[in-house]
Amino acid sequence: MADDSHANGDEAVAENAEKNRELPSELEKQIIRQVEYYYGDHNIVKDKFLRDQVGPNYDKWVPLTTMIKFKRLADLSTDFDVITSAIRKSTSGLIEISDDSQSIRRSPSRAVPLLTTEYRLESKAKTAYAKGFPLDATFDQLQEFFDQQGKVVSIYMRRNLEKEFKGSVFVEFSELSDTKRFVEAETVQYAGTDILRLTKADYWQEREEKRKEKKEEERKQNAQQKAKDVQQKDEESDEEEQSKPQYDVGCVLHFKNVGEQTSREDLKELFHEKEEVCWVDFTRGDTSGYVRFRGEGSAKRAMDSLMKEHDGKLEIRGVETTLTVVEGKEEEDYWKKVEDERNKAKEKAKRGRGQKRGRGRGGRGGSHAKRARTR
């Protein structure tokens, strides 16, 4: 009985302490959210600058003098007392404060997940696409909105080439159940406007279907135009025309330095999130290659979007990667090489067809016998 009373007394003390815990102000909530984003699973494995500070085990102390170099945190406060006071009011247990209150670190008890294929798939499954927000909405306003939907890991505001908010976001929730609840809810409104919601996988599937529909419509229109043309082209010439590479200016991106075991599929998945990818010119084991996008200026748009998302330091399989838009003489040479390779492949295919026709004419009965059988 004495032991039970003692245990009950400890629980009561803990319960009272929790009740008496001072709640963070709005500013402190923003500081907590921002610092925990930096040190969260989603960001800490991708942020090269922060990884250099926290070390290979992610547990080194980082001075607050370094932390306030992060713009969003500095915009909230550069006062160390304000920052540490806010962190002490967090209930997540993610961040620890040094004894002298001059440094912070991620709690060693919170292991950082490995960037495995399984982890990336889980992250994708917990990410939703949402559209319908005002174009003047701020990040803090969106954060407040999504905090009401579930625990948020990250919010990516999609922007156009002029860096203007497009009214849509990718939001990753901590729990898959929160993502499903948000996407499957009958209605979700923001400022009186219904928000379109899809899983990230469904969004890309829908986008790909629309791209195929558009391409099919263009194909039909081209076929109709060709039908009106005086000089009719045969099926082989049509295939040649459709197989020619795109010559839009500024749609080729060169990448240099990638991690071992990087595959074309890895690269296509990464770049296809930003612009429509036509071709990835890369072989596993190489350290560099090219990505061809669709549309004039698409390479720069894809590069700018990726670099902004990764704070100017993109890594592919753990290796910092350099991106360059192929321009000028280099672009001309690149397309000439593509054209040369295409012509070689065409000539090889013609030789193959010629050999097949020659064998058919030389055989007994030849093609006439074959036609007879098909009648």
pLDDT of residue 2: 44
The mean predicted confidence, pLDDT, of the chain is: 84
pLDDT at 373 over 80: no
Q: Please check whether residues 89 and 125 belong to one and the same domain.
A: no
Residue pair 42/153 in contact by the 8 Å Cβ criterion: yes
Q: Which of 122, 120, 119, 159 is nearest to 139 (CA)?
A: 159
pLDDT value of residue 363: 45
With cut-offs at 50, 70 and 90, classify the pLDDT of residue 238: low
Do residue 83 and residue 123 come from a single domain? Answer: no
Shared domain for 190 and 266, answered yes or no, is no
Of 106, 132, 149, which closes a domain? Answer: 106
Residue 120 CB partners (closer than 8 Å, separation 6+): none
Cα–Cα nearest to 36, from 96, 120, 99, 102: 96
**Would the pLDDT of 21 be above 70?**
no
- Residue 158 near residue 168, CB atoms below 8 Å: yes
Q: Are residues 83 and 154 in the same domain?
A: no
Query: Which stretch of 12-26, 208-222, 281-295 has the lowest confidence by average pLDDT?
Result: 12-26
- Closest by CA to 317, choosing from 275, 287, 279, is 287
Q: How confident is the model at residue 374 (pLDDT cuts 50, 70, 90)?
A: very low
Domain count, the chain: 3
Please state, for a pLDDT cut of 70, what percent of the chain lies above it: 84
275-299 pLDDT, tens digit each: 999 899 999 889 899 999 988 999 9
User: Dmax of the chain from CA atoms?
Assistant: 105
327-371 confidence digits (pLDDT tens)? 999 999 999 998 888 888 888 888 877 766 655 544 444 443 333
Q: Over range 211-229, report the average pLDDT.
A: 86
**pLDDT classification of 242: cutoffs 50, 70, 90:** low
Domain membership flag for residue 7: no
The enclosing domain of 27 has a CATH number of 1.10.10.10
In this prediction, residue 89 carries a pLDDT of 93
pLDDT of residue 4: 53
DSSP one-letter string for 25-52:
-HHHHHHHHHHHHHHSHHHHTT-HHHHH
Residue 194 falls inside a structural domain: yes
The one-letter amino acid at 227: A
Domain boundary among 332, 350, 366: 332
Considering the domain architecture, whether residues 145 and 71 belong to the same structural domain is answered as no
Query: How much helix, strand and coil, in percent to the nearest 5, is found in the chain?
Result: 50, 15, 30
Confirm if 110 and 175 have CB atoms less than 8 A apart: no
Confidence at 233, pLDDT banded by 50, 70, 90? low
In the predicted structure, residue 128 carries a pLDDT above the cut 60: yes
Q: State the pLDDT at residue 235.
A: 56
Domain range for 299 is 252-332
Verify that 276 and 314 share a domain, yes or no.
Answer: yes
| Lookup: tokens for 64 | 């607050």
In a domain, 71, yes or no: yes
Supply the Cα-derived Rg of the chain in whole angstroms: 29
Q: pLDDT at residue 44 above 90?
A: no
The pLDDT value recorded for residue 13 is 45
**Residues 155 and 141 sit within 8 Å (Cβ to Cβ):** no
Distance CA 271, CA 269 (A): 6
CB 72 within 8 A of CB 114: no
Helix H, strand E, coil C: the string for 228-283 is HCCCCCCHHHHHHHHHCCCCCCCCEEEEECCCCCCCHHHHHHHHHCCCCEEEEECC
More confident residue, 231 or 336: 336
**pLDDT at residue number 326:** 94
The per-residue pLDDT for 45 is 83
Report if residue 5 sits inside a domain: no
pLDDT for the residue 117: 85
